[in-house]
Amino acid sequence: MATRTGSIDQHPDIVALRDRYEQAAETPQAQLLDGLTFLGGLYVAISPWVVGFSSAGALAVSNLVTGIALAVLAMGYAGAHGRMHRLAWVAPLIGVWTIITPWVILQGAATTGMVISNVITGGVVTLLGLGVAAIGMTGRSRRSR
């Protein structure tokens, strides 16, 4: 009976796949998307204090938490794209959540500033997240060739 001496992490196909994802992540477009996604997350986190709706407690907390989560996710994309590509779907969801939170959390009591800030930022974050997901798909399509 043969014994296994290595782990799956050292399998040639896994190593080649990680290399492809890392090459995709090193392009200027990917770095730009990662950086803008990080900045988008920071803005979502601080927007209650920038726009002036920090007194809307639940919405302010939601923006703070989702913004920090997005910024951390973007740092993961930039630092370990080969391992984070499976989470690329999370950023667009955070963007959609950011768009709908004024209505979901405040149930119509949101001010114009809250709505405009969240809708614009959420839209931008959604588009950036879709771009990050497309970079991840680039790595997969190269694998199949």
Task: Kindly state the percentage of the chain with pLDDT values over 90.
Answer: 42
Instruction: Please tell me the distance from the alpha carbon of residue 97 to that of residue 137, in angstroms, as a whole number.
Output: 23
- pLDDT tens-place string over residues 25-84: 567 787 888 899 999 999 999 999 999 887 888 999 999 999 999 999 999 888 776 667
Q: For residue 143, what pLDDT band results from cuts at 50, 70 and 90?
A: very low
Domain positions in the chain are 15-144
Average per-residue pLDDT for the chain: 81
Task: For tokens 């798909």, name the residue.
Answer: 137
Q: Which carries the bigger pLDDT value, residue 134 or residue 38?
A: 38
Residue 56 DSSP symbol: S
What value does the mean pLDDT take over residues 114-135? 91
CB 129 within 8 A of CB 33: no
Between 109 and 38, the more confident residue is 38
- The C-alpha atoms of residue 50 and residue 8 are separated, in whole angstroms, by 48
Burial class (CB in 10 A: 0-12, 13-18, 19+), 69: middle
Residue 145 has pLDDT above 50, yes or no: no
- Count CB-CB contacts under 10 A for residue 15: 11
Average pLDDT over residues 96-109: 90
User: What's the predicted TM-score (pTM) here?
Assistant: 0.76
